[in-house]
Amino acid sequence: NRREWEDVVNDNADPYTANPAAFVSTKADRLAVEWLKPLEQRLAARGEPFRFYLDTSFYLGGSTGTIEPWMLGSPGECAEWWLQIVNRFRSVHGLTPENIALCNEAGYGNVITPAVMAPMIAELGPRLAPMGVKIMLIPMSEPDGALAYMNTMLGYPAAWPYIGELAYHLYGGSTAGKNGIRDLAKSKGLPTAQTEHLNYSIGDVYDDMVEGGVSYWDLYGMNGSTNAVGGGVVSLGLDGTTVRPGTHFWKYRQVMQHARPGAVRIGATSDSTTVRVLSFERLGEISTMLWAPTGAGTFSTLVTGLKPSRVYGTSQALNSGVYRELGLQTSDAQGRLTVNVPAYGVLTIYPYAGVNQPPMITSTVSSPEFVTRPASSLTLTATATDAELDVLTFSWAVTTKPTGTAPVIASPSFATTAVSGLTAAGTYGFTCTVRGGPHTVVRDLLVNVFAANQPPVIMVTTNRSPVTVTLPTTSTVLGHSSFDLENEAMTTTWSTLSSPPGTSPALVAVTGNATRVTASNLTVAGTYVFRTTISAGPHTVTKDHTVIVHPAGNAPVVSAPTPLTVTLPTTSASLNATATDADGDACTFWWNLKSAPTGAAPVFTLPGRAATTVSNLTLVGAYVFTVTAIDRTHPVSRDVTVNVVAGSGDTTAPTVALTAPANVSTVSGTVTLTATASDNVGVIGVQFQIDGVNIGAEDTAAPYSLAWNSLLVANGAHTISAIARDAAGNRTTASVSVTVNNADTVAPVISAISANATATSATIGWTTNEAADTQVEYGTTTAYGSNSALITAKVTAHSQTISGLTAGTLYHYRVKSRDAAGNLATSADATFTTTAVASANLLIDPGFENLGQSWMKTTFGGRSIVTSPVHSGTHAQQMLVSPQYTRGVYQDVAVSAGAVYDASGWLSTNGVGGAGSRIDLQWMNMNGMGDTIPTANLLRTDVLGTRGGTTAWTRLAGTYTAPAGAVAVRFRLFTEIDADGVGSAWFDDHAVVRAAATASLEVEASSQPASSGAAGQRCGLGGGLAAFAVALMLALRSTKRR
């Protein structure tokens, strides 16, 4: 919702009386009508609440442009801007946002520092409060920076009553940052949210909920085109007929379909380093999601804590595949259930509704997605799944067709069928009917047939850096976003159609981006029109873009306000300012406090107007106020001093004494502060303070007292003060020193237990939610019998190595941590096995013969599985070089710290310069990382080698020792950014082999493995077995998330 004239003209000079005609609501109305209202209706039909938030960005060099000077300088104008947006949604569309974010990624690439943000919140918050709307704080671009920003905001207490949620983005950062935001939010009674990341993995859902304690989790950049590799979360057909789940959709659905609004995440723990777990409770029922971010095959997993003898549905989504139902299972009398969790997959256990459910059509697709004449045929394919595993039947039919055509469905009762007879251009409609049990479900599919090759489409043209051009700036960057349906190469040219007289704009291509040019020499204010011309195949299309260059203008002239003197008991003053603007721009005002006597807290009435009143001038001394007048581009400030003097009739200060608590006493819990005060004329009030900060309102009547919650401050020494004030402004302070000692009776919470074993030693790691000591109890039975040395240092990240162990032996262990208050936490029993069995190749599908289903893909496309060239077998991975993005695939495998691994792979290139393609290893201290590994979790990167300039297959290899703390390694294949944007690389036949095997966990194989070994054989996770029994203990308890 952007203002008219590119947001460069203020609607008027009064932030308290808006001019609605100056706001263009076209985009906001379209968002409400096409997206928000239909979504609200769909959720209402499910009996679920609809919540949404609004935010905006003010990037200095980005597509949004920076905040306008009159909004930056006046919190009142910023508040008015937001109120117009909120009121539009409320009054026209009946939609009220739950929160608004004044600035997306505040402090990152913009000028919205905490000092700027705080007064904006303090001004807007009270005006939003009657609507039930609060402020969401989304600072910086990653959790560590966001936490630092939020901690700085603690210095602005006036803003916090209006903040309703703390959010972070996930472009890097550490677990500690997420923990810190979670804990800060908990201390404020606020929820947390993760609202943006481009390279999500399903592991991010787990990490954000557990480490960040989030109640809200967003998918950002959901869509991707269906004719591009990868496809995003929701794939959009570029010809306008198809919307279908993308690569990552089904894994997220495994969580979000069953963790509905109103669900509470409850405690769920796993004793396996391989299987992760989340559980949610809603309406008395529990849904549980398990996934294994590494490994091979499946993991037979015992889940406990479910309802006894309850029927549950089970479903799974594997890698990037479509989800499928696995059938119904019934928990035993103890509430236990055994399921097989697939490696790199998500398995969900959900409460079965008790009656037969309709089947779920998971896809209806056409191959090709569209048809270009003279071709006249295609293949239709449908997939479906059923909770009860009922037999499903399929039926295809034609619903719409161009006049004169007679499409023929070859096998209408099959899930996959050929269709012919598409003899004329137009849109053809098909219906797939699926029957299962007593139910029938229907899905429609539209397919376009084009008469000939289609022209490219220019979706949008833009200018940025800057978005708003105001002299003396004389340049901006022009760009466009376009696509070609047939994926033909597109060429771009820009030209100048018109410009003000006497100007000669220059257009220079931006290096590395064929769609952008820098337009310079925009030396005269006025309108410039540029044209982009796109050619692809036989077609050429154009689109024009207008850039308005605004004059520099003249700064307003502000008259210096007249200094004032206020004599107590008067405690207010009227302030006035005047300004003239030679350009006739609307000129808004904003009053600020610049300095005041210590402890003073003056209050403005309507600080966004030229004439305002300031009150609460209760302390004798000089108050300096600043008024800033702001036209379209220039802020000009002037100061005015108000001197507050005592009344001539009373110069005697009151007397005051703190009667409770006693000086040098120890206090805890809620403490009653009491004071007595007297004055020769009369006491106006007594203000209590803790360490110089006001607590509560001034008590204006005896007896003077206040209930203070000492839990709000840290244990230790603090100063309590009582300040008595009389009508003449005379003050007296009395203080006492106390020691706060609130007992800690809660034991630390132990989580994230891991074990990395070698033949003769094991390193045990875990975390606690508070600083505590470190010790491991271990032995060959649950009687243990041995203890590691006690590490008395209090930490939250624990690690201890126990040595002198016997190779090939199962050990039981449990970890213990005691906090500073002496509260001891002891974990449940866990096991590991020492072993020295050599490993086979740890990579799954190392030669892409299974079409790369076990390889994770980074966000940007340009990848495909090809049949030529290959190093061996029948398939290889191809990647195109991009002028903008790195492209790659990767696979994570479990490793043991200190173990030695041989890694290798074959690489061929064509047209790739220098070191344009590479294979490397990224060692991590945690499983389940997304595409971008946070710095805190990346231990080391080893490069097997780079390649460019040759088509010969080349083997890249090396031997590496896993660094201390490593639990997984990422084997990456990718191409670097290349300014030319041409060329390809092919990858094939890769291996990661443990030279001397170690085991991160040993478990009991409960079924016949896919590779070798017999049922019941013991084997570490690295030993090549495909099925394991991993005891998973779900300690389900009704505790709110965070």
Q: What percent of the chain is modeled with pLDDT above 70?
A: 90
Residues of the chain with CATH 2.60.40.10: 358-470+472-550, 555-740, 750-833
Which band of pLDDT confidence, cut at 50, 70 and 90, is reported for residue 952?
confident
Relative to beta strand 223-225, strand 234-236 is parallel
User: What is the reported pLDDT for 988?
Assistant: 92
Q: Are 479 and 270 in contact (CB under 8 A)?
A: no
The C-alpha angle 1027, 1028, 1031, rounded to 5 degrees, equals 150
Q: The CATH number of 555-740 is which of 3.90.1150.10, 3.50.50.60, 1.10.3720.10, 2.60.40.10?
A: 2.60.40.10
- On whether the CB atoms of residues 201 and 930 are closer than 8 A, the answer is yes
Q: Would you give the distance in Å from CA 372 to the centre of its chain?
A: 41
Mean pLDDT to the nearest integer, 506-528 = 92
- Residue 821's pLDDT band, with cuts at 50, 70 and 90, is confident
Question: CB neighbours (10 Å) of residue 697?
Answer: 10
Q: pLDDT tens digits, residue range 43-102?
A: 888 888 889 999 999 988 777 888 989 999 999 999 999 999 999 999 999 999 999 999
145: Cα separation from own chain's centroid: 14
Calculate mean pLDDT across residues 321-326: 88
Burial label, 822 (beta-carbon count in 10 A; 0-12, 13-18, 19+): exposed
Four-residue CA torsion sign, 323, 329, 334, 336: negative
DSSP letter, residue 897: T
pLDDT on residue 223: 58
Reported as a pLDDT band with limits 50, 70 and 90, residue 824 is very high
In the CATH hierarchy, which top-level class contains the domain 750-833?
Answer: mainly beta
**How far is the C-alpha of 396 from the C-alpha of 381, rounded, in Å?**
10
Return the CATH number of the domain spanning residue range 358-470+472-550: 2.60.40.10
- Reference 562, options 480, 486, 627, 482; nearest CA is 627
pLDDT for 873 equals 86
pLDDT of residue 221: 67
Question: Beta 810-818 vs 824-826: how paired, if at all?
Answer: antiparallel
Q: How many CB atoms lie within 10 A of CB 915?
A: 13
pLDDT single digits (tens) 142-191: 999 999 999 999 999 999 999 999 999 998 889 999 999 999 999 999 99
Fold of 856-994: Jelly Rolls (2.60.120)
Interatomic CA distance for residues 259 and 346, integer angstroms? 14
What number of other Cβ atoms are within 10 A of residue 26's Cβ? 9
For the residues of 297-355, what is the DSSP string, one character each? SEEEEEE-SS-TT-EEEEEEEETTSPPEEEEEEE--TTS-EEEEEEBTEEEEEEE--SS
Given a cut of 70, whether residue 839 has pLDDT beyond it is no
DSSP letter for each residue of 900-923: EEEEEEEEEEES--TT-EEEEEEE
- String of DSSP letters for 172-191: S--HHHHHHHHHHHHHHT--
Which residues are CB-contacts of 378 (< 8 A; sequence separation ≥ 6)?
Answer: 366, 367, 368, 371, 418, 419, 422, 447
Does the bond joining 538 to the residue before it have cis omega, within 30 degrees of 0?
no
CA pair distance 898, 797, nearest whole angstrom: 20
Cα angle vertex 463, ends 458, 467, to 5°?
145
User: Cis omega (within 30 of 0) on the bond before 407?
Assistant: no
- CB-count burial class (<10 Å; 0-12, 13-18, 19+) for 355: exposed
Could you give the residue ranges of the DSSP H alpha helices within 825-984? none
Confidence grade of residue 4 (pLDDT, cut at 50, 70, 90): very low
- Report the chain's terminal Cα–Cα distance, integer Å: 34
Q: How many CB atoms lie within 10 A of CB 17?
A: 10
Phi, psi (rounded to 5 degrees) for 211: -85, -35
> Of all helices (H) and strands (E), which one includes residue 209?
helix 202-211
Cβ density class 143-159: b for 16+ within 10 Å, e for less? bbbbbbbbebbeeeeeb
Residues 614 and 566: their CA atoms lie apart, in Å, by 11
The C-alpha atoms of residue 1038 and residue 285 are separated, in whole angstroms, by 12
Q: Does residue 40 contact residue 47 with C-beta atoms inside 8 Å?
A: no
Say how many residues make up the chain.
Answer: 1042
Q: Is the peptide bond before 635 cis (omega within 30 degrees of 0)?
A: no
Residues in contact with 184: Cβ distance below 8 Å, sequence separation at least 6, in sequence order: 147, 150, 151, 166
Instruction: Give the Cα separation of 295 and 334 in Å (integer).
Output: 29
Q: How far apart are CA 756 and CA 491, in angstroms?
A: 54
Place of tokens 């119904």: 328
Whether the predicted pLDDT of 1021 surpasses 60: no
Q: What is the mean pLDDT of residues 430-451?
A: 96
Token pair 């709110």 is found at 1040
Report residue 644's pLDDT band, with 50, 70 and 90 as the boundaries: very high
Grouping H, G, I as helix, E, B as strand and the rest as coil, residue 4 is: coil
What are 906's two structure tokens? 């074959």
- Quickly state the pLDDT bin for 338 (edges 50, 70, 90): very high
Q: What is the model's pTM?
A: 0.67
